[in-house]
Every structure is written in C-alpha cells, then in structure tokens.
Amino acid sequence: MFAEYWDAFVTHSSTIGTIVSILGFIITIFYIVKIKKVAIIARKASEATLRKLSYIDVVKELSATIEIAEEIKTLIVLKAWHLLPDRLSYFRRRIIIIRHIDDWVIKSHGIDLQSIIGYTAIAEKSLSKFITSGETEPKKIEKLTNRIIDQSTLLQNIQGRV
C-alpha cells in the first residue's frame, strides 16, 4: 500500500516540483514589479519635494536679488559711482547662484538670466573704466539706469512665473 503511494509520489514529484517552481517564479516576479512601482512612486515624490524646495530657493534668491537691484538704482540716483561696481558684481554673482539652483532654472529662464549677467558684466566694466578715467559722471547714465530697471523688472517677471 505504502509502496504504491510512494511510486505515485515519485512519478509525479518532478511535475509537482516544476509547478511549484513556476508558481514561485510568478510570485517573485509579481513582488518585484510591485516593489519597482512603489520605488518609482517614492522616487517621483522625492523629486517633486526637491523641486518644490528648489522653487522656494529660487523665489527666496530672486527676492534678495531684486532688493539688490533696487539698491543699485538708489546708488545711481545718489551718483555713488564708486560703490556701484562692487554692488553690480554682487548682483551678477547672485544671478549666477540662481542659475545653478536647478536644471529647470536654466531650461525655463536661462536666456533671461544670461542676458542680465551680460548687461551687468558690461556695466561693471564700463563703470570701472569711468572711475579710473577721473571724469565726474559716466556717459549715457540714463541708459545704465534703464538697463538696471529692465533687469529688475525681468527678475520680477521670472519670480512671477516661478
């Protein structure tokens, strides 16, 4: 009696083993897919959080930089030419920092920020030349004032779009 059962078990054991292996494999694949989906969701959530944090950083930096632009406008009105190159340099460096906060900043506002960097670098160079020249007032001062106002407005627009 036992020998018959044993023979039957031996005959079917490889089939049962194969089925159990396939079932185990399917269950493993199912859990791997499930874990992968959970990992993707977690990664997306983490990226979204980081992006939100970078938006906050950009808005914070933009606000501080707009304040520097306002300070530069005041210095122009006060004709404090000797203080301007340093403030313009600081302003430009802040814009460079904003550019490097995240890739989306360059993708979305790269040209506008580069334009501000370009104008500021030119203004710094021109003012430094003027200071060493010994003249009393830089030429085309209205243009410089207008450019700073344009840059400040551009930063406010970027801040509005962020």
Partner 1 sequence: MSDKIEELVEKLLANTNDGKTKWEEAGLEKGFLTSLSKFSILLGVTQNKIGDNIIELSILNSEGKTIEEYRGQQLTLSSLWNAARRAAFGVEVAIDALIEELE
Q: Which residues bind partner 1 (CB under 8 A)?
A: 92, 96, 99, 106, 110-111, 114-115, 117-127, 130, 138-140, 143-144, 147
Tokens of 25: 């494999």
Using alpha carbons, select from 93, 90, 68, 69 the residue that is nearest to residue 145.
69
Residue 135 tokens, joined: 């003249």
Nearer to partner 1, 73 or 147 (CB): 147
Q: How far apart are CA 156 and CA 162, in angstroms?
A: 10
* Residue type (1 letter), 31: Y
- State which residue, 28 or 114, has the beta carbon closest to partner 1: 114
Instruction: Write down the least CB distance from residue 133 to partner 1, Å.
Output: 12
Shortest CB 65 distance to partner 1, Å: 14
Give Cα 1 distance to the centre of its chain: 77
Q: Are 81 and 127 in contact (CB under 8 A)?
A: yes
Q: Which is nearer to partner 1, 101 or 106 (CB)?
A: 106
Cα–Cα distance, 152 to 32 (Å, whole number): 52
Residue 66 or 113 with smaller CB distance to partner 1: 113
Q: Report the nearest approach of partner 1 to the CB of residue 62 (Å).
A: 18
CA distance linking residue 28 with residue 34, whole number of Å: 10
- Cβ atoms within 10 Å of 91's Cβ, excluding its own: 26
* Least distance CB 106 / partner 1 (angstroms): 6
Query: Rounded to the nearest whole angstrom, what is the least distance from the CB of residue 72 to partner 1 in the complex?
Result: 12
Closest to partner 1 by CB, 58 vs 127, is 127
